[in-house]
Amino acid sequence: MEIIDIKTSKSYPVYVGQGAIEALPEFINRYSQISRILLITDEKVAGIHLHRVKEMVEKTGKPVEVCIVPEGEHAKTFEVFYQCQSFALAHNLNRKSLVLALGGGAVGDLAGFVASTFMRGIPFIQLPTTLLAHDSAVGGKVAINHPEGKNMIGVFYQPDAVFYDLDFLKTLPEKELRSGFAEVIKHALIDDSDFYQWLITNIKNLNSITDEQYLTIVKRGIEVKAAIVAADEREDGVRAYLNFGHTLGHAIEAAMGYGNFTHGESVLIGTVFALNLSLKKQDFPFNLAEFVQWVQSLGYQTNIPETLQKQTLLSNMKKDKKTISEQITFVLLAKLGKPYLTEVDDRTVMGELKRQ
């Protein structure tokens, strides 16, 4: 098992490896003041992993309450957030309680936001069960969605630890692997050209990734994010680079309806869009045709869904949190591993939307 130290205003460990969850009870018992534990998970994860994890947590000898929420982005609503708060109050949680987030990125976002606001903030621990959550579980962004935009209601609130048990990934369907692997690709493109070359050389089928490859993928992805978050915890500068591909990606998610098109699949389309813009603005050696062929061979759609109106996508992108003027702010690449922020005028954006 590997331990990665995340250094922000609050430093904490990320445990990565097969069976990592087995170290959880000992870690919790370091907190002698913890009185009760609230485990938040979704309907699907509960049917696969809840029994094992609950048994593990009960080894602490502390009362464990389980709150089950809807699957995926359907969990990230104000109504579900309110239900979790009501559940916590009804089961006598207090300022000495602990929240565990068992699930993918949506559960982690929701549970972290619940923890950050319950009695003005109680500790929480991320227990990711998806590949996508290697990105969302680290860095302290917690939020719920609004119909007008993704993650519009939230805070920066760091977990006390992350336990990333790679055994959980063995139960993921290919669609969820694709969603998570899009964020792995993003980390490579914005930070590490050698990692990108390793991915494109070694990963030919998402269903045949080995345990050793998973450890490399997750560990390197977390290290990339950890370095950026350490430099800019509250997204005042370079942390915005982690949104590469997300400007259009979030716009597609909103237009399709949250939960109808996975986050990673949306981001991958946004990544192709951002790479196109990058290559138009900067002359650097990057084989976009090879990239598109590779991701398509992995099962990704690279074109904008035909049902979506381009004007709707443009309007949605203007609501992006990076955008502070009338023009949309994008993360683009000056070269592989060198991202930068820039504003792009509507005419250029609309032209690219029509081409993709």
pLDDT by residue (tens digit) across 286-310?
999 999 999 999 999 999 999 999 9
Average pLDDT score over residue span 317-333: 86
What's the mean pLDDT when you consider all of the chain? 95
Q: For residue 261, what pLDDT is reported?
A: 87
Percentage of residues in the chain having pLDDT higher than 70: 100
User: Which of 44, 49, 134, 141 does the annotation list as catalytic?
Assistant: 141
pLDDT at res. 166: 97
The active-site residue, picked from 49, 186, 246, 316, is 246
Per-residue pLDDT tens digits for 13-57: 999 999 999 999 999 999 878 999 999 999 999 999 999 999 999
Q: Which two tokens stand for residue 81?
A: 């957030």
Which residue of the set 223, 235, 253, 265 is catalytic?
Answer: 235
Name the pTM for this structure. 0.91
Query: Does the pLDDT value for residue 103 go beyond 90?
Result: yes
Q: How far is CA 150 from the centre of its chain?
A: 12
User: Which range among 75-79, 154-158, 247-251, 321-325 shows the weakest confidence by mean pLDDT?
Assistant: 321-325
The distance of Cα 132 from the centroid of its chain, to the nearest Å, equals 5
In the residue annotation, 235 being an active-site residue is answered as yes
Residue 194's CB: how many other CB atoms inside 10 A?
11
| Cβ neighbourhood burial of 215 (10 Å; 0-12, 13-18, 19+) | middle
Model confidence at 235, pLDDT cuts 50, 70, 90, reads confident
Known active-site residue 355 = no
Q: Are 141 and 110 within 8 A, CB to CB? A: no
Question: pLDDT tens digits for 308-318?
Answer: 999 999 999 98
* Residues linked to residue 100 through DSSP beta bridges, in sequence order: 39, 125
Residue 147 has pLDDT above 90, yes or no: no
Task: Give the contacts of 2 (CB within 8 A, at least 6 positions apart).
Answer: 15, 16, 17, 215, 219
Is 347 an annotated catalytic residue? Answer: no
Catalytic residue among 239, 253, 265, 352: 239
pLDDT band of residue 257 (cuts 50, 70, 90) is confident
Choosing from 44, 176, 183, 265, the catalytic residue is 183
3-class DSSP state for residue 100?
A: strand
pLDDT at 325 over 90: no
Q: Is the pLDDT of residue 100 over 90?
A: yes
SS3 state at 78:
helix
Token pair for 349: 């954006």
Give yes or no: 49 in active site.
no
Mean per-residue pLDDT for 99-110? 97
Q: Are the C-beta atoms of residues 46 and 75 closer than 8 Å to each other?
A: no
Residue 125 · residue 24 · CB < 8 Å: yes
Q: What is the reported pLDDT for 299?
A: 97
- Does 319 qualify as catalytic in the annotation? no
Residue 341 has pLDDT above 90, yes or no: yes
User: Binding site for NAD(+): what residues are annotated?
Assistant: 71-76, 105-109, 129-130, 141, 150, 168-171
335 is catalytic: no
DSSP assignment of 189-233 equals HHH-HHHHHHHHHH-S-GGG--HHHHHHHHHHHHHHHHHHHHH-T
Binding residues: 71-76, 105-109, 129-130, 141, 150, 168-171, 183, 246, 263
pLDDT above 80: residue 324? no
Q: pLDDT at residue 329 above 80?
A: yes
pLDDT-above-90 percentage for the chain: 89
3-state secondary structure of 328: strand
- pLDDT number for residue 116: 98
Structural domains for the chain: 2-171 (3.40.50.1970), 174-355 (1.20.1090.10)
Whether 263 is a known active-site residue: answer yes
